[in-house]
Structure 1
């Protein structure tokens, strides 16, 4: 069976199950990865439909190419990174499609440093191995291991939540946050109310991606229970969205700024942010005498930059937050605990924390387009904007920079979409940007 080339994205593999992602592909990926990355390989999965049979075939492929496989079962994606670094394994694979709709499945790959493997650092070679079917032969073994207690102990040593009389609501979205987060909150004695915290690959209550428009149940429950705050997670628990005590959903920029304050108030640190982040992020880091470092969008790139620069934290506007003290993992459970730790330490409400931040005018949208047209569209824009003599930054898509505002357009590496973000320090400037963006949207191939 021929492999669909479109499943190979910039930093992972994703496609429709079982049409594009199936048992045969999983087996070949196992053979290929063990050929590419020899040694002890940790394997886990999220709660999506097809996950178990994909895992079985992946492991079959890994062992037939000589790998020693450590099967850690159903876990959040960041626990793959934790396992590699904590136990000194040689690599890892997580079977997940993260925040994508329920019809999707996929694979994330990690090297022995715990860094994500994308097309620029190994995924292309993994793909070529599949096409050539030149696999290493061997007879590997399978070890099943429960890592949750080691993970919880590790996290517990990094968080201080003594006498925290807090009440929170957690919306696990029927994803794998359900497996870990309640245990962590119990460890710290945090009172919590669970929403959709049973694992269900059909995601019956909301999409796997937590968004401003699908968190009504969480918002209402926070207000009803007079909770201190609420949190919502994506399918594999590497993204988190916050809700304050009034039921307001924090933007990713606001959530990131809360985390930045928790790290930088007492120590000058480096902070990595993506090219879609608000001006507020950069200004807040500088306010605390820290060092902001820009990076292209993509979890592989931000995680790598955090580790290379020895930054305390990194953030992506999609809701990923990366922690140096967790080996660069984008761990949504740890992000939750860091926010709770900060609120408890300062004895402050969540709404009060982000209310202190500069209030600029920011928006972002994602527009569906044709997969085969998305990168070409961005290249055409670069030519058009260059002819108009706009000040541009083309390191990640195309960004137009004005005196007190900016617009960024980039092709998504995981979906057939164009991401657009824009920001202005003034309302008048924002309205002008909005009109400009509306005209650009009309040009996107549908």
Structure 2
């Protein structure tokens, strides 16, 4: 059995990615964790999957803290004070997909060895189930996006820009526009209503899917356009002339500005980064 890919577990809802599997993954995580935070993107399967994973966690005695509809970076931030985090998202995949990403308190995703351990428990079903009087409880966290926004704002300065943000009908609506506004930007949003059918565009932020954003940036004389994927752990951009800047181009720009001695990129990142930045480029596996 091989559940985990480069970024968690994904599959079509009720055809591979079922509530039963989600519950078993919850029991596997709960067998080694006491406090777990859980969040979802805007997919229609989110409430179902959250209920299933939470049931598995609580069956093993976990205290489950639900932060509702949040981005993956927000969930990772909330995991800092927990034993683990569970993000229910299929990222950039089409709406019929669901997924589970697991996080450590240091903001890193589960390692290969941790993922292997979860797979073994799911397969063997040797979970550490608790008796009736020791099962966990569910708690609700209402202020997680606000806490994340404050942490970001503590490390950035002011900006007087006009920005168009495409939230991809996902949870980016409750973090990116708010942070930019508080920085001093004038912000216009599109696709900012969370909707798991993704009526505005598909969650993959390819240039072909972002025609509305390009047109908005140019027609509104904006300084920049920003687009997220379905769980907002990725962004692409358009400049003020409507030129698309993909992940590799943005990575090169950020590395050029901030890297002093060394920058780490994934193995699939463009080789152009090596030519563009002055720092040493180190490549690592995806995920």
TM-score, normalising length from structure 2?
Answer: 0.93
Question: Which of 239, 249, 254 is equivalent to 1:254?
Answer: 249
Question: Which of 100, 105, 108 is equivalent to 1:107?
Answer: 100
Counterpart position of 1:75 = 70
Alignment of 1:300-339 (within 5 A): none
Counterpart position of 1:17 = 13
How many pairs align? 282
Alignment of 1:189-338 (within 5 A): 189-264=184-259, 268-286=260-278, 290-296=279-285, 298-299=286-287
The question of whether the paired residues in 1 share the 8 Å contact of 2:61 and 2:136 is answered with yes
Alignment of 1:330-369 (within 5 A): none
Residues in 2 aligned to 1:294 and 1:7: alpha-carbon distance in whole angstroms: 25
Question: Which of 94, 105, 123 is equivalent to 1:131?
Answer: 123
- 2:113 is the counterpart of 1:145: no
The question of whether the paired residues in 2 share the 8 Å contact of 1:167 and 1:191 is answered with yes
For 1:121, what is the secondary structure of its paired residue? helix
Question: Which of 96, 114, 128 is equivalent to 2:89?
Answer: 96
For 1:237, what is the secondary structure of its paired residue? coil
Name the structure, 1 or 2, with higher relative contact order (CA <8 Å, separation 6+): 2
Q: Say what the alpha-carbon RMSD is for the aligned residues.
A: 1.6
Residues in 1 aligned to 2:245 and 2:137: alpha-carbon distance in whole angstroms: 46
Q: 1:115 to 1:179 in 2, by over 3 A?
A: same
Residues in 1 aligned to 2:160 and 2:5: alpha-carbon distance in whole angstroms: 44
For 1:32, what is the secondary structure of its paired residue? helix
Q: Deviation per CA, 1:45-103, whole angstroms, max 9, x where unpaired?
A: 11111101210121111011011111111100112221122xx2111110000011111
Can you give the 5+ residue segments of structure 2 that lack an aligned partner in the other structure?
A: none
TM-score, normalising length from structure 1?
Answer: 0.61
Question: Which of 151, 154, 158 is equivalent to 2:155?
Answer: 158
Can you give the 5+ residue segments of structure 1 that lack an aligned partner in the other structure?
A: 300-446
The question of whether the paired residues in 2 share the 8 Å contact of 1:38 and 1:67 is answered with yes
- 2:181 is the counterpart of 1:186: yes
For 1:294, what is the secondary structure of its paired residue? strand
Question: Which of 31, 47, 66 is equivalent to 1:52?
Answer: 47
Counterpart position of 1:122 = 114
Residues in 2 aligned to 1:67 and 1:192: alpha-carbon distance in whole angstroms: 40
Cα distance, 1:7 vs structure 2? 4.8
Residues in 1 aligned to 2:153 and 2:196: alpha-carbon distance in whole angstroms: 29
The question of whether the paired residues in 2 share the 8 Å contact of 1:91 and 1:114 is answered with no
| Runs of 4+ with >4 A deviation | none
Cα distance, 1:231 vs structure 2? 0.9
The question of whether the paired residues in 2 share the 8 Å contact of 1:11 and 1:123 is answered with no
